[in-house]
Structure formats: structure tokens, C-alpha cells
Amino acid sequence: MDKKSPPVCNYEGSDYQQSFWDMGGRAYEDAAEAIALKRLLPSGGKFMLELGAGAGRNTPRYQQYGRVALVDYSRTQLEQARDRLGESGRYVFVAADVYHLPFVANRFDGATMIRTLHHMADPNLALGETARVIAHQGVFILEFANKRNLKSMLRHLLGKQSWSPYTQEPVEFATLNFDFHPQAVRQYLRRAGFEIEKQLTVSHFRVGFLKRWVPTGVLVMLDSLLQWTGRWIQVSPSVFTRCVAKKESQAAPDDALFQCPVCGTRLSGMGKDLTCESCGRVWEYSDGIYDFRISPPNEA
Ligand SMILES: C[S@@+](CC[C@H](N)C(=O)[O-])C[C@H]1O[C@@H](n2cnc3c(N)ncnc32)[C@H](O)[C@@H]1O
Ligand SMILES: [Zn+2]
């Protein structure tokens, strides 16, 4: 691995989908995110890229796209996604690093990154690489964890939190877990070449006692009403942003998909190991998953 490449948060072998979502009491957050996505997704598209797809929790929400490429650094998360979604021509499962995407430039007409910027030590690099593979006018939906949320502002005011929610730098509250300032994220996006179209604030009521005492449906309805306020102010723990890529270059031809993540040479073929003609690396394909990780961690 390139020495300068940022570290990756390792989900290999993690039961994140079961423990955090299925059994974790997060029906409210999941439903609030589904509403935000519905509001932001375009009505149709050809080929979408889902970055940090995890176990594919959101993938069924992308029906308006003809195909979806799911990227995650963890092969075991992708195995869960594959088992949940099934193997078909509609899905391409790709183990890869957001910082080194194995796709040709301008390939996708849409992309999402949900709960994944959260793990990016270098958000500019991650969003720059994302922008590279999205074609002109492609729609990118980014979710990020907001450091300037009501709870953190209150804790700061009461002296219970040393870091300021108001400053632009990300806060790493646990190793490789970052919350971002909304204004800083808008800057990263513009720097990467995106034009911001809409912002929705999400999960306003992510508070233990509210979730215990107020019916989930009521919280979801109230959240749905408040999401529109994200256009003016963002003080919820989660923010969804819809952007459009602005490019001079043409969309990639339909038959081009992969490139070597090490040297950038285009790779041809699908459904088999792919050998790079320039640097000689062999990128494995097995059990329906392409593996483009430059130095994969030990599988759990
Ligand atoms: C919190 S989970 C979110 C999964 C899914 N988007 C969801 O909302 O259910 C974050 C995911 O990002 C992946 N991830 C973290 N860093 C990554 C990187 N550098 N490249 C690719 N995937 C990464 C992890 O493996 C994990 O599956
Ligand atoms: Zn190569």
C-alpha cells in the first residue's frame, strides 16, 4: 500500500448490520434515512455506485437505477450484501478502498455514500476520488455525521465536552470515527467539483428516552417534517446532501468499468480474475466478489 494512503476503518468480520441495525433499536433512524433518500434520489439512472455499502441495508432503495456497484473495504460485509440481494447482473460487488477506486473516470451517473465519510481521515481525498468516477451531471448523495448538533452544542455549553462543535476541523471522537462541520463538508464537496443542490437534516430525535417513550412512527413523521429545515440550518446528528458533478469530460463508454487501482490501466473482462497488462497485478474474483484491495487485511 502507498505509504501516504490514509488508514481504513476495518469492518472485516463485524456483525454491524445485526448488532447496530437489526437488533440495535434503530428502526427510527433507518426509516428517517429512507425518507431522506427518497426525497433526494433522481427519478431514474443507469449505473449507480454505492460507496461503503456495508451489508447492503440501503441498496434496495436504489431501484430507480438499472445497475448498482457496491463498494466496501470489508469483504465480509459484501458477502452479507450478496446474500441479502442475490447474485444477478444488477449488482456488482467490489471490495475496494474509497481512496483508490478501481473504476474508470466518469463511469457512473449516480453515487451515494451513507455513514461512510464518518470513517474518512482524509475527506478531500475520498470525495476527490468519488468525483473522478462520476460523470458530468451525475447525482451524488452524501450523508455525514454533524459535529455541530444540538447535543454537542449543549454538552459544550455545560462544559462536558472539550472540543468545540463550531470549528471547521473534523472531530475524531474514537479512532477513525469522525464528525464533520456542515460548512467544511460543503467546502470539500465544492473543491471536489460538486455543485450542492439540496440539504436535508435527518434523525433529529436520536435521543434514547424519546425513542423509548414516543412511538417510532410519530418520531419518523416529525423528522420527515423537520428534514426540510436542513436547507437553512443543520443541527441534527446526520445530514444528507444532494450534489451534482460538474465535468468537462465525456461519460465513459458503456463497456468500460474497471481500472487497476495501482497504476490506472483499464482492465477488460468481467466475472473472472483480472490481470493488469501494465503492472502485472492480478485482481481476484471469487464467489461473486471482485477484490481490488491493494493490501487486504487478514480475513476474520
Ligand atoms: C457505518 S458502515 C455503513 C454501511 C452502510 N452504508 C449503511 O449505512 O448501512 C461504514 C462502511 O464503510 C466501509 N468503509 C470504511 N472505510 C472504507 C474505505 N476506506 N473504503 C471502502 N469502504 C470503507 C466499512 O467497511 C463499512 O462497511
Ligand atoms: Zn496496474
CA–centroid distance, 277 to ligand 1, in Å, is 30
Could you tell me the maximum CA-CA distance found in the chain, to the nearest angstrom? 60
Domains and CATH numbers, the chain: 16-291 (3.40.50.150)
pTM: 0.96
The whole-number pLDDT of residue 258 equals 98
CA–centroid distance, 269 to ligand 2, in Å, is 15
Q: How far apart are CA 205 and CA 236, in angstroms?
A: 8
The whole-number pLDDT of residue 297 equals 73
Which amino acids bring their CB within 6 angstroms of ligand 1? 8-9, 11, 16, 52-54, 57-58, 71-74, 77, 97-99, 114-116, 119
* Cβ within 8 Å of residue 262, ≥6 positions away: 100, 276, 279, 281, 294
pLDDT in tens, 194-219: 999 999 999 999 999 999 999 999 99
The whole-number pLDDT of residue 295 equals 84
The whole-number pLDDT of residue 138 equals 98
Atom number, ligand 1, closest to the C-alpha of residue 57: 9
Residue 148 CA to its chain's centroid (Å): 20
Atom number, ligand 1, closest to the C-alpha of residue 113: 6
List the shell of residues around ion ligand 2, using CB closer than 5 Å.
260, 262-263, 265, 276, 278-279
The whole-number pLDDT of residue 274 equals 98
**Residue 294 backbone class (left: φ over 0; alpha: ψ -120 to 50; beta: rest):** alpha
The whole-number pLDDT of residue 2 equals 52
In the predicted model, residues of the chain with pLDDT beneath 50 are 1, 300
The whole-number pLDDT of residue 300 equals 44
Q: Which protein residue has the closest C-alpha to ligand 1 atom 4?
A: 54
The whole-number pLDDT of residue 112 equals 98
Closest ligand to the CA of 282: 2
Closest ligand to the CA of 116: 1
Count of H-run helices and E-run strands, the chain: 8, 12
Closest ligand to the CA of 277: 2
CA–centroid distance, 89 to ligand 2, in Å, is 26
